[in-house]
Amino acid sequence: MTDAISLLPLPDDIPFSVGSMHFVNPLTAMGLVQRIKDNKSVAAIQTGAASQCGRMIIKLCQMEGIPLINVVRRDEQVKLLKEEYGAEHVLNSSTDTFFDEIKELAKKLRATTCIECVGGPITAKLMDIMPPNSQLAIYGCLSEKEYDGFDPLLLIGRNITLRSFILGEYLQSQGIWIIKTMRKAATLMNDKTLQSTIHETFTLSQIQDQIGKYYKTMTAGKMILCPHDDDPALQSGAEFEPFDIKDCQTE
Ligand SMILES: NC(=O)c1ccc[n+]([C@@H]2O[C@H](COP(=O)([O-])OP(=O)(O)OC[C@H]3O[C@@H](n4cnc5c(N)ncnc54)[C@H](OP(=O)(O)O)[C@@H]3O)[C@@H](O)[C@H]2O)c1
């Protein structure tokens, strides 16, 4: 059960596989771009930029005319974002020169909001290189590592703030304006501006192999679980080997 205001109509030409991603990432991307605007930042940084959410943020910033410094961890992702998404600034965090390059670019563009979803040591290092009076908005922790290395004196001296973002709180904070936000989201999703790439669909009986595959090829797109009536995994008595999700991760 849910209330009507939480529902989005699915147009006839959008398949269920695409419709299954019609809510969380698109609205998160919109909320994060709104955060950049609320902070009155004339430019921004985002990490995990080759994620589906990151690609939506690229498109929204292009529409809003907000220069965006995109951070990825592999050269293939630099190529993807530049060639297929028209991203102007894409930096690979795995290079030795990364922090020098991003510091200079953030200063030049006056990128005073960083939307950050990687976590671990990169978070504190980004706060160290951001211009004074910046905000780092954490909305994910893809590395599954703890934050460390914060230098309180640097943060105090340059008035750097750390704030979280969570979709539910963003939607609640909209109040009555949520209707306008949902309408805008539906338009952008239906015209494919905010659509995710699907890598593969799979059935319930393939889930163990597919989760491992997803962890190894996240940038390739979403893996959609589509159980069918004749899926053996839905038959009574089906048994699976227990597995630990950590075995599937690449690092
Ligand atoms: N706070 C909220 O309300 C909210 C809502 C929605 C989503 N989120 C967060 O948004 C983030 C993106 O979600 P998504 O569905 O768009 O992701 P996705 O499409 O599954 O893509 C994940 C991306 O992250 C990269 N990545 C994975 N581990 C990484 C690491 N340790 N360091 C750097 N990059 C890494 C992957 O690159 P490789 O191919 O190199 O692995 C891939 O490009 C997630 O953290 C998710 O939890 C938060």
44-58 pLDDT per residue, tens: 999 999 999 999 999
pTM above 0.95, yes or no: no
Percentage of the chain surpassing pLDDT 70?
90
What local confidence, expressed as pLDDT, does residue 140 receive? 98
Which helix (DSSP H) or strand (DSSP E) does residue 72 occupy?
Answer: strand 68-72
Tell me which of 218, 224, 248 to substitute to probe ligand 1's pocket, judged by most ligand atoms within 8 Å of the beta carbon.
218
**Is residue 247 over pLDDT 60?**
no
Q: How far is the CA of 115 from the centre of ligand 1 (A)?
A: 12
Q: What is the dihedral of CA 247, 216, 193, 3, to 10 degrees?
A: -10
Which helix (DSSP H) or strand (DSSP E) does residue 80 occupy?
Answer: helix 75-85
Note whether 152 and 121 are same-domain residues: yes
Which helix (DSSP H) or strand (DSSP E) does residue 34 occupy?
Answer: helix 24-38
Tell me which of 33, 53, 214 to substitute to probe ligand 1's pocket, judged by most ligand atoms within 8 Å of the beta carbon.
53
DSSP for 36-68?
Answer: HHHTT-SEEEESSTTSHHHHHHHHHHHHHT--E
Domain with residue 145: its CATH number is 3.40.50.720
Whose alpha carbon is nearest atom 31 of ligand 1?
Answer: 143
What local confidence, expressed as pLDDT, does residue 232 receive? 67
Residues of the domain holding 44 = 18-190
**Is residue 32 over pLDDT 90?**
yes
* Spatial distance between the Cα atoms of 222 and 198, rounded to a whole number of angstroms: 5
Note whether 183 and 202 are same-domain residues: no
Domain-located, residue 12: no
Q: How far is the CA of 244 from the centre of ligand 1 (A)?
A: 20
In the predicted model, what is the mean pLDDT of residues 65-94? Answer: 98
Note whether 26 and 143 are same-domain residues: yes
Note whether 42 and 133 are same-domain residues: yes
* Spatial distance between the Cα atoms of 147 and 55, rounded to a whole number of angstroms: 24
Residues 81-140 have pLDDT tens digits of: 999 999 999 999 999 999 999 999 999 999 999 999 999 999 999 999 999 999 999 999
Q: Residue 250: which pLDDT band, with cuts at 50, 70 and 90?
A: very low
Cβ count within 10 A of residue 47 = 28
Domain-located, residue 2: no
Note whether 180 and 80 are same-domain residues: yes
Residues 150-197 have pLDDT tens digits of: 889 989 999 999 999 999 999 999 888 888 888 888 888 888 889 888
Note whether 66 and 172 are same-domain residues: yes
Note whether 142 and 171 are same-domain residues: yes
* Spatial distance between the Cα atoms of 142 and 118, rounded to a whole number of angstroms: 5
**Is residue 26 over pLDDT 60?**
yes
Residues in contact with ligand 1 by the CB-under-6-Å rule are 24-25, 28, 48, 50-53, 73-74, 117-118, 139-140, 142-143, 165-167, 218-219
What local confidence, expressed as pLDDT, does residue 233 receive? 66
Which helix (DSSP H) or strand (DSSP E) does residue 222 occupy?
Answer: strand 222-225
Whose alpha carbon is nearest atom 20 of ligand 1?
Answer: 218
